[in-house]
């Protein structure tokens, strides 16, 4: 068993850029979480940096020399989730690899397992995950032998798990097992004062030799924008700007069109887009008989993205 305590700080926390009060608090709580061996639940909108925070907690903990294994629960097909989590024995099912295969829990032995978008787990997998967290042992698919585990679990979700518990779509006992230490990452629109520092660090990462700087007009536009995609969207916008070979200064002409010519809130273009999205979502749900997972597949998006769009349309 890995003893907890470990280092008090990791350079990874420095990558969570920003000096706003919310981000200072996130780094403080992250440091405390790293010193503990408790299960951690990270909440926040998509693109706010939950995996980066999970890695920082791992790297600042006594498990830093162990593996950090990440799995996106929404990206693995339902039929393969059990084998991905728990592994399988040879001959467990058609196509099973000779000699079997360890699951993500086994691969994370002595380290940290990061379960991203944990709210997307099917009910059966929720029950099995709860058992693993309680018993600290895992049983491969097709096996009767249990394997003891020494794994720290960090889970993350961009959905309101408490509301899912109330709606009986997420197990209450699993929620309380995960909800030991909870950290919430703020959306970028709530901390525009962090954008200069964050953009500077992103540019330095993308162009380490001679990163360009942002013009005053660009910086003003970035701080006025609402960033529905959060840090991930900001990173994509800066990557686009670099691809246009801006030279030493990034100007408005290097920004995506929607940042250069933002549509007014409630304008005709935005209403048209919302109407089109609503029509597509409702049509897919009707075709799928109300099954949201099937509707997401028809639309070519993840279940979490489908829930996000439905929530946006209700606002």
Predicted pLDDT of residue 270: 52
Give residue 275's pLDDT. 62
Per residue in 235-270, pLDDT (tens digit) is 999 999 999 988 999 999 999 888 877 655 444 445
Rg (CA), the chain: 22
Which residue segment(s) compose the domain that 154 sits in?
Answer: 11-184
Angle, alpha carbons 281-286-288 (nearest 5°) = 95
Predicted TM-score of the model (pTM): 0.77
Residues 178 and 293 in one domain: no
Q: How many Cβ atoms sit within 10 Å of the Cβ of residue 139?
A: 18
Which residues fall within 8 angstroms of residue 56, CB to CB, at 6 or more apart?
10, 12, 13, 15, 16, 30, 34
Domain boundary among 133, 150, 184: 184
- pLDDT, tens digit, for every residue of 126-177? 998 999 999 999 888 877 788 899 999 999 999 999 999 999 999 999 999 9
Count the neighbouring beta carbons within 10 Å of the beta carbon of residue 93. Answer: 11
Instruction: Tell me the pLDDT band of 123, cut-offs 50, 70 and 90.
Output: confident
Instruction: For residues 224-233, give the mean pLDDT.
Output: 91
Domain count of the fold of the chain = 3
Residue 5 lies in a domain: no
| Contact yes or no for 117/156 (Cβ under 8 A) | yes
Q: Is the pLDDT of residue 122 over 80?
A: yes
Residues 154 and 89 both lie in one domain:
yes
Does 252 share its domain with 273? no
Q: State residue 66's pLDDT score.
A: 96
Would you state the pLDDT for residue 263? 57
Identify the pLDDT of residue 95.
60
For the chain, how far is it from start to end, CA to CA, in angstroms? 48
């Amino acid at each position: 068993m890995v003893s907890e305590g470990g280092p008090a700080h990791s350079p990874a926390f420095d990558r969570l850029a920003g000096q706003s009060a919310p981000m200072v608090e996130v780094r403080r709580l992250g440091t405390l979480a790293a010193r503990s061996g408790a299960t951690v639940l990270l909440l926040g909108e998509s693109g706010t940096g939950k995996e980066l925070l999970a890695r920082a907690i791992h790297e600042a903990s006594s498990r830093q020399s162990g593996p950090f294994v990440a799995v996106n629960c929404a990206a693995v097909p339902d039929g393969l989730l059990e084998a991905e989590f728990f592994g399988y024995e040879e001959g467990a099912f058609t196509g099973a690899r000779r000699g079997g295969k360890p699951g993500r829990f086994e691969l994370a032995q002595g380290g940290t397992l990061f379960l991203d978008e944990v709210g997307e787990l099917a009910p059966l997998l929720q029950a099995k995950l709860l058992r693993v967290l309680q018993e600290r042992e895992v049983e491969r698919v097709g096996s009767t032998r249990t394997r003891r585990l020494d794994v720290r679990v960090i889970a993350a979700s961009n959905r309101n798990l408490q509301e899912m518990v109330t709606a009986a779509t997420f197990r209450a006992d699993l929620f309380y097992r995960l909800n030991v230490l909870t950290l919430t990452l703020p959306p970028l629109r709530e901390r525009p004062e962090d954008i200069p520092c964050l953009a500077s660090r992103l540019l330095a990462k993308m162009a380490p030799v001679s990163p360009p700087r942002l013009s005053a007009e660009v910086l003003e536009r970035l701080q006025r924008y609402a960033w529905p995609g959060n840090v991930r969207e900001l990173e994509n916008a800066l990557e686009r700007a670099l691809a246009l070979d801006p030279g030493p200064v990034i100007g408005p002409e290097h920004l995506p069109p929607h940042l250069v010519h933002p549509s007014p809130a409630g304008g005709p273009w935005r209403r048209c887009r919302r109407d089109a999205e609503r029509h597509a979502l409702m049509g897919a749900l009707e075709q799928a008989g109300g099954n949201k997972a099937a509707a997401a597949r028809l639309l070519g998006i993840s279940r979490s993205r489908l829930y996000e769009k439905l929530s946006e349309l209700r606002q």
